[in-house]
Amino acid sequence: MECEQNEQSDEELMMSYGDGNADAFEILYQRYKTPLYRFVQRQCYKQTVDELFQDIWLKVINARNSYQVTASFKTWLYHMARNRIIDQYRKNNIRIIDNNIDDIDTVENTSIAQPEKQLHTQTQYQTLLEAISELPPDQKEAFLLREEAGLNIEQIAETCGINAETAKSRLRYAIKKLRKKIGDSDYA
């Protein structure tokens, strides 16, 4: 029975959970808890990660009866996570500017301590993580959706409510900035 449930799609499991099958939810949770947790962790302060993570899953639980298969469960899950993170940004008075990709910058970026000073003593991975944390939120979001959630360009666009070209541009700028940071670190 459990084996059959493991082979079920995310959407089938969610529908099954809507019918009262708690085991289906547990399977979904085990599938997505780690990437989703990191997706949240990479975008928020550490002290708020657990709260946001729990809120996102609570939204999933509350939506069990109204859930309909209009998109993939993964896209739907990360769409809710993104909205919850944006709410958190607004709550902390973090201004998100995403209309001009070249000029993207955030209050969060300015509030974070200068990462360049630490790059010399950290590993390349840590350099990468810090570079990710320096990314503008929309670029960071696009990068994390790709690397953590495994979404393609179309799914990223659907999750973020943008067109595919914009998603592709955000991802391209994020890679460019990360490469630059890593290159600078190697160079240093």
Residues that bind another protein (CB under 8 A): 17-22, 25-26, 29, 33-34, 37-38, 41, 50, 53-54, 57-58, 61-62, 64-65, 123-125, 128-129, 132, 146-147, 175-176, 178-179, 182
Q: Least distance (Å) from another protein to the CB of residue 48?
A: 13
Q: Least distance (Å) from another protein to the CB of residue 186?
A: 11
Q: Would you state the structure tokens that stand for residue 18, as one six-digit string?
A: 């809507």
* Cα(176)–Cα(184) distance, integer angstroms: 12
Q: Least distance (Å) from another protein to the CB of residue 179?
A: 5
Give yes or no for a contact between 72 and 182, defined as CB atoms under 8 angstroms apart: no
* Cα(172)–Cα(179) distance, integer angstroms: 11
Give yes or no for a contact between 107 and 96, defined as CB atoms under 8 angstroms apart: no
Which residues, at least 6 apart from 70, have a Cβ–Cβ distance to it below 8 Å?
A: 76
- Residue 177 is which amino acid? K
Closest to another protein by CB, 66 or 110: 66
Q: Least distance (Å) from another protein to the CB of residue 139?
A: 13
Closest to another protein by CB, 94 or 128: 128
